[in-house]
Amino acid sequence: MTGFPSERLRRTRATPAWRRLVRETRPAPEQLVLPLFVREDSAEPVPISSMPGVVQHSLDSLKAELHRAAEAGIGGVMLFGIPTHKDAEGSGATDPGGILNVATRIAATEVGDALVVQTDLCLDEFTDHGHCGVLDARGRVDNDATLVRYRDMALAQAEAGSHLLGLSGMMDGQTAEVRTALDAAGHADVALLGYAAKYASAFYGPFREAVQSSLEGDRRTYQLDPANRREGAREIAFDVAEGADIVMVKPAMSYLDVLADAAASSPVQVWAYQVSGEYAMIEAAAAHGWIDRERAVDESVTSIFRAGADAVLTYWALELAARLSGR
């Protein structure tokens, strides 16, 4: 017969059993990392209005959440601290009694065997000006002076028991600098996650509320221009050369091309961060009844894995883990 297709792709889509059998992307709970916010001097968890379902944890609620995460079988947690006191140098970041270091010690002790305990290594939560580094006399972010702070922050986090340091500050040379400092101090076993291709994104909006950032202006002198794909690849190559054990692309959904490039060429694992604004968009649209929430969540995360991520940081990690393991 002419005029009819001989190739029929619908055959293997015909039933749920078929679709399940031929599915190409199968995220597993252990490939998910849950970001957690921990607030200093708070007895109760505090909701984050732009991230419905996400809270700033107290130390008590953090402990409970860490055990839920271990129970859910996810791969790890990424910790962020919200200090009460902020200053120009971000001194809370290097204080062993600072909130992030305290939370890290708790996580390492409570669930360090079950989860990879990860910490955000950046100054923006700790500085009163909200930038990811320290400023020079003219108010610009000073790359090399910031590296000195990152070294000390890395040592503080390693000593607190972090397994993997998330270098999210986007200073040139940060990965090499931190690796050298850790090795010299006997922390050769602490791994580095280079936020290699981190773009200056509007999708970090809700995160600023989450960490009560005082940033005015933007981060365009250190984070990547969203227009640049080649430059993202270059950042990734630098981080690998400087000793990153894993590299990151961030945000995820608007940068799947960058992610796919990296997945194809990187010799180390490539992770992606589905950031606060990506979470907020789907939650907000779903709250209006405009999209099917569960399907949108699953589709968004599947697309990040399909593009080539080895693991994904997502605020839905626990919900997804429950769904993926059929609980």
- Tally Cβ neighbours within 10 Å of residue 128: 12
Chain contacts with ligand PBG (rule: CB under 6 A): 120, 122, 124-125, 168, 204, 207, 219, 275-276
Nearer to ligand PBG, 113 or 216 (CB): 216
63 part of the active site: no
Q: How far apart are CA 52 and CA 327, in angstroms?
A: 22
Reduced to 3 states, what is the DSSP secondary structure of residue 5?
Answer: coil
Given phi > 0 = left and psi -120 to 50 = alpha, else beta, which region is 272? beta
Q: How far is the CB of 207 from ligand PBG (least distance, A)?
A: 3
What is the Rg, in whole angstroms, of the alpha carbon atoms belonging to the chain?
Answer: 20
Q: Provide the token pair at 45.
A: 């968890």
Q: How far apart are CA 30 and CA 46, in angstroms?
A: 27
Nearer to ligand PBG, 185 or 281 (CB): 281
* Short-list 76, 90, 179, 93, CA closest to 135: 90
Q: How far apart are CA 198 and CA 202, in angstroms?
A: 12
One of 250, 261, 266, 279 is an active-site residue; which one? 250
Q: List % helix, strand, coil for the chain (3-state, nearest 5).
A: 45, 15, 40
Q: How far apart are CA 131 and CA 141, in angstroms?
A: 7
One of 57, 86, 198, 219 is an active-site residue; which one? 198
Q: How far is the CB of 115 from ligand PBG (least distance, A)?
A: 19
198 part of the active site: yes
Q: Are 133 and 149 in contact (CB under 8 A)?
A: yes
Residues annotated as catalytic are 198, 250
